[in-house]
Amino acid sequence: MAADVLSVRNLRVEIPLRNEVLCPVDGVSFNIPAGEILGVVGESGAGKSMTGNAVIGLLDRPAHIAGGEIWLNGQRIDNLPKEAMRRLRGKQIGMVFQDPLTSLNPLLPIGEQLRETILEHLPVTKPQAAARAIAALEEVGIPAAARRIDSYPHEFSGGMRQRVVIALALCAEPSLVIADEPTTALDVSVQAQIIALLKRLCRERGTAVMLVTHDMGVIAETSDSVAVMYAGRLCELGPVREVMTHPAHPYTIGLMASTPLAAKGQKRLNQIPGAMPRLDNLPTACAFHPRCPQVQDRCSVEPGPDLEACGGRAACWFANGAGS
């Protein structure tokens, strides 16, 4: 645990509404060691972004952290004062958003945005910051970086812009990067390049990465471990190879069977019947039980076992290999 850059313990996020309290993240725990990539998968609305935003301290009101702990390099950060948390953002935690077209301020040259970030976090002079900004662009593979440093975002293509965003996220050399679906908005042809770039940079620097994605294929290629989320809960967590080859939770099994890459042997892709429940209408006990092909009586009465407590991989009483 000492080597973990990020350690999330039993995280709970709540959204108080007028007459109820929604809970988009509930009892989520995971660790990311230095230099490793944790893939986070799950259907849209599963709470992946909420988890990432909670870690970097950017939950939009009224959502807030209502329980659990977040540790970064041995420092507890979920209860830090606002100003201390701000200093940490960009410096120790970098973030890459989904859409590079909207992530950059259209009215400021990219060099300006790089320099302001570097000057904010690092003890450097203005000329040094300018040199670093160019170096940061070179590192992410922007050709003729010195010349393009004063270009505006609209003068770059989508893929190039996402490179700029990555340069911005990494320019103060954070120890953790949260990438929330960094390729979803990009052309298929550049998706692989961006993922490879992210992976290379983080491996070189020993940065821990929380990579949120829909794409099992991306996870298979890049991640060391994978967390599967369903309706705000973690249902499976384990090393990528094991989870991909021997999924334990019925939901993960369904997810794998519906992924082209993992389902190579099958004639046609499977589909999990039904849809993920809305947060204001969660089923009792295990949230997945109404859709679960292996459902048993216990599932509608008792929530699945706690991943942490049972030391297991899947939050399911009847998980494969759980030996029920």
Ligand X SMILES: Nc1ncnc2c1ncn2[C@@H]1O[C@H](COP(=O)(O)OP(=O)(O)O)[C@@H](O)[C@H]1O
String of contacts with another protein for each residue 152-191, x by CB under 8 A: x-xxxx-xxx---x--xx--x-------------------
Pick out residues in 185-214 that bind ligand X (CB under 6 A).
none
Among 29, 31, 49, 191, binds Mg ion (CB under 5 A): 49
Contact range with another protein by CB under 8 A, out of 68-76, 96-104, 251-259, 306-314 = 96-104
Q: How many Cα atoms are found within 13 Å in the side-chain-facing hemisphere of 43? A: 17
Closest CB to another protein among 157 and 266?
157
Q: Which residues contact 131 (CB under 8 A, 6 or more apart)?
A: none
* Candidate ranges 15-23, 34-42, 117-125, 223-231; the one touching another protein (CB under 8 A): 117-125
Instruction: Quote the least distance from Cβ 52 to Mg ion, whole Å.
Output: 8
* Residue closest to ligand X (Cβ): 49
Distance CA 137, CA 143 (A): 8
Distance of alpha carbon 293 from alpha carbon 289, whole angstroms = 8
Q: Nearest approach, Cβ of 4 to ligand X (angstroms)?
A: 23
Q: Give the helix/strand (H/E) hosting 5.
A: strand 4-16
110 binds, among another protein, Mg ion, ligand X, none (CB under 5 to 8 A by kind): none
> Residue 172 — left, alpha, or beta (φ > 0 → left; ψ -120 to 50 → alpha)?
alpha
By CB under 8 A, tell whether 107 contacts another protein. yes
Q: Are 56 and 69 in contact (CB under 8 A)?
A: no
Residue with tokens 């950060």: 77
Residue 22 interacting entry, from ligand X, Mg ion, another protein, none, C-beta within 5 to 8 Å by type: ligand X
Q: How far is CA 125 from the centre of its chain?
A: 33
Please select the residue that binds ligand X; options are 19, 44, 189, 271, rule is CB under 6 A. 44
User: How many residues belong to the site for Mg ion (CB under 5 A)?
Assistant: 1
Secondary structure class of 111 (helix, strand, coil): helix
H helix runs in the chain, sequence order:
48-56, 82-88, 100-103, 110-121, 126-139, 145-148, 158-170, 188-205, 216-222, 240-245, 250-257, 307-310
Nearest to 110 by CA among 144, 133, 78, 79: 133
Pairing, β 64-72 against β 4-16: antiparallel
Tokens 């939770």 correspond to: 249
- Of 135 and 185, which has the nearer Cβ to another protein? 185
Q: Which of 6, 272, 279, 315 binds ligand X (CB under 6 A)?
A: 279
The binder of another protein chosen from 99, 173, 242, 306 (CB under 8 A): 99
H/E run at residue 105? none
From Mg ion, ligand X, another protein, none, interface partner of 266 (C-beta below 5 to 8 A by class): none
Q: State how far the Cα of 307 lies from the Cα of 66, in Å rounded to an integer.
A: 19
> Considering only 9-17, 146-154, 238-246, 288-296, which stretch makes contact with another protein by CB under 8 A?
146-154
Binders of ligand X in range 124-143 (CB under 6 A): none
**Helix, strand, coil abundance in the chain, percent, nearest 5:** 35, 20, 40
| Interface with another protein: number of residues (CB under 8 A) | 41
Which CB sits closer to another protein, 153 or 250? 153
Question: Considering CB distances under 5 to 8 angstroms, the limit depending on partner class, which of ligand X, Mg ion, another protein, none binds residue 81?
Answer: none
How many CA atoms are closer than 13 Å to the CA of 91, on its beta-carbon side?
Answer: 13
Minimum CB separation of residue 137 from ligand X in Å reads 29
End-to-end CA distance of the chain: 29
Cβ contact 181:98 at 8 Å? yes
- What is the contact surface with another protein in residues (CB under 8 A)? 56, 58, 86-91, 94-95, 97, 99, 102-109, 113, 116-117, 120-121, 142-143, 148, 151-152, 154-157, 159-161, 165, 168-169, 172
- What is the contact surface with Mg ion in residues (CB under 5 A)? 49
